[in-house]
Amino acid sequence: MNSSTFRFAAGLPQRSHRLDANECLFVAGQRATRLFYVRKGAIRLVRTLENGANAVMHVARAHEWVAEASLFSDKYHCDAFADEPTTLVSLSKQSLIEHFESNGKSAVEFARMLASQLRALRQMHEIVRARRADDRVLTWLQLRAAGEPPALVLDRTWTQVADELALTREALYRALARLRRNGRARIDGRHVVLQR
Amino acid sequence: MNSSTFRFAAGLPQRSHRLDANECLFVAGQRATRLFYVRKGAIRLVRTLENGANAVMHVARAHEWVAEASLFSDKYHCDAFADEPTTLVSLSKQSLIEHFESNGKSAVEFARMLASQLRALRQMHEIVRARRADDRVLTWLQLRAAGEPPALVLDRTWTQVADELALTREALYRALARLRRNGRARIDGRHVVLQR
DNA sequence: CGAAACGTTGACCGTTTTCAATTACAGTGG
DNA sequence: CCACTGTAATTGAAAACGGTCAACGTTTCG
């Protein structure tokens, strides 16, 4: 997903944007003429349901595109708000599509990025479908660990990991404690070594 | 996702395949030279983790592609098995990529399909992240309902819905019963009308 | 026709959430 | 340099919720 740089958009005119926390980037129904890329911060995509409830559809973080799908639709179908102070760049959809259509290699690059996001999301989706916290945590660690024995160093806080796994941080800490007790993993701060 | 027909692959040489239930389509590590499309049945993509555990990464059903991501990688990174008797067609990756690179419009079509899958999956992902069964069910129904009052007719069994929502069917029925009791929805067989 | 799957509900059990409290640490302003 | 504030990390106890098991009627399909 970090490979989602501008390789395929090189040379196209860009605009910069800066939003404060909770500031609105666009709302559902608005004509979608530009595609956004998050430089720093995060954008929350929210869909307002018929009964007024809100469903968060996605949170686009630094180095991710915002609603790539809108590249292919006339209107945005979500509201977009900054989760925190955020800087973005944007491209004209029209010029981007024209660029792709006349430059297949760029289009393939873009498709490659979409496919990679899809693969990553499928992974997370299957993990979150697991019912027990231990399964989610262990699978997540295993998918990230490398080497013999498999090991990794976290690049974020455990609290953030808990959120990704759709667990409370308490549940995550307890799962980690169990893994440690059962000898399935050695965990020291952000360093993890899986056993067996 | 059903729009993921062969528009963008028209004219390219294709091969047909037929698998029995549990028959293997490919294994992780094998060179990925062809891209598969499910005509009928379903293909289960399984990743075997370092400790021998299996994680189902995805189930590709009729009218879906199998591991589009492998279009961009040398090797398959999952094992693929037929969930039931399944028929597929396949295309040479190389000819497909060449086709895309020289024909931007087709590449954009392909990207459009990937983006639509991504959007759909993000939706389901956010739903499954919800902790309470009622929230998952209600959000799922609201996203599908249309009209005034919002209503829908299921195109599948409630058991299949339960699986999509990562709930047991019992939990789903109880959630439906609660929605009915609270007056949030009128449910009769596969017909649902949301209230308020 | 019979078996398998679907639909539905109750009781009980296991796991997670919630609430609460404590320690540790990093950044901030006086 | 230090008290001060906010967040992360950690654990316990009680409450809420979904899973599992069980039972039963109904529908579907070979």
What is the average per-residue pLDDT within A36-45?
Answer: 88
Tokens of B35: 């891209």
Digit-coded pLDDT (tens) for B155-188:
999 999 999 999 999 999 999 999 999 999 999 9
* HSE, side-chain direction, 13 A CA sphere, residue B64: 20
Q: What is the pLDDT of residues B16-26, one digit of tens each?
A: 998 887 788 99
DSSP E strands: which ranges in A20-74? 24-26, 34-40, 42-48, 54-61, 65-66
Is the C-beta of residue A131 closer than 7 Å to nucleic acid chain D? Answer: yes
**Which one-letter DSSP state was computed for residue B83?**
S
Return the pLDDT at B63.
81
**Is residue B132 a contact partner of residue B31, using CB atoms and an 8 Å limit?**
no
Q: Which nucleotide comes closest to B188 if you measure CA to C1'?
A: C7
Kindly give, in sequence order, each residue whose CB lies less than 8 Å from that of residue A44, ignoring residues fewer than 6 positions away: A56, A58, A59, A80, A81, A82, A83
Q: Is A95 on the interface with B (CB under 8 A)?
A: no
> Which of A8, A65, A108, A170 has the highest number of chain B CBs within 10 A, making it the mutation to test binding with B?
A108
Inform me whether the C-beta atom of residue A1 falls under 8 Å from chain B C-beta atoms: no
pTM (2 d.p.): 0.87
A148 touches B: beta carbon within 8 Å: no
Show the tokens assigned to B19.
């698998």
Closest Cα in chain A to B165: A129
Answer yes or no: do B105 and A101 touch at CB < 8 A. Answer: yes
Q: What integer is the mean pLDDT of A127-137?
A: 94
- Residue A139 sits at the chain B interface (C-beta within 8 Å): yes
Structure-token match 């995550």, residue found: A172
Rounded to whole angstroms, how far apart are CA atoms A65 and A5? 10
- Residues of chain A with Cβ-Cβ distance to B121 below 8 Å are 118, 121-122, 125
Task: Give the separation between CA B47 and CA B77, rounded to whole angstroms.
Answer: 7
**Of residues B43, B1, B37, B3, the one with CA closest to residue B19:** B43
Cβ neighbourhood burial of B50 (10 Å; 0-12, 13-18, 19+): middle
A161 has a pLDDT exceeding 80: yes
Q: Mark residue A11 as left, alpha or beta (left: phi above 0; alpha: psi -120 to 50; beta: remaining).
A: left
What's the CA–C1' distance between A48 and D1, in Å?
51
